[in-house]
């Protein structure tokens, strides 16, 4: 059973460009979470999605950031007009269902560098 797959592993963008980060959850998992890890910091929650629905986006910046988890295909975290402060590691996690004690399984992350 393949784990959570994220691509690309590394992404370099110039200021003002768009970044698209992809996440394929583990097989059978319908819940996806995105977290951001800034240098020397812990993980900060961004958004929680189920298929075709955003459940909690309380951690998403109000502008430039969006996320989706379509019926078919991977979840996408999109950052428009990137700035240097967006440079971070972005981790996706998935879990099988809506249960409080469910384990979230993490991908290897996408490291975004903004030049």
Binding site for another protein (CB under 8 A): 4, 6, 31, 33, 35, 41-45, 48, 55-56, 58-59, 91, 93, 95, 98, 100-109, 111
**Distance of closest approach, residue 53 Cβ to another protein, in angstroms:** 12
Query: What residues contact 56, with CB distance under 8 A and at least 6 apart?
Result: 45, 47, 48
Closer to another protein by CB, 50 or 80: give it. 50
d(Cα 92, Cα 25) in Å, to the nearest integer? 8
- List C-alpha distances in Å: 67 to 18, 41, 115: 13, 22, 23
**Distance of closest approach, residue 80 Cβ to another protein, in angstroms:** 23
**Distance of closest approach, residue 9 Cβ to another protein, in angstroms:** 9
Closer to another protein by CB, 63 or 100: give it. 100
Rg of the chain (C-alpha set): 13
């Amino acid at each position: 059973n393949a784990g959570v797959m994220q691509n690309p592993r590394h992404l370099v963008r110039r200021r003002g460009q768009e970044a698209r980060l992809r996440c394929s959850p583990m097989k059978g998992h319908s819940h996806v979470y995105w977290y951001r890890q800034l240098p020397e910091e812990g993980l900060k929650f961004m958004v929680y999605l189920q298929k075709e629905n955003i459940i909690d986006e309380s951690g998403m910046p109000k502008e430039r950031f969006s996320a989706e988890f379509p019926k078919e295909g991977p979840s996408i975290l999109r950052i428009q007009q990137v700035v240097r402060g967006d440079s971070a590691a972005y981790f996706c996690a998935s879990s099988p269902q809506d249960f409080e004690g469910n384990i979230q399984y993490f991908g290897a992350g996408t490291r975004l560098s903004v030049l």
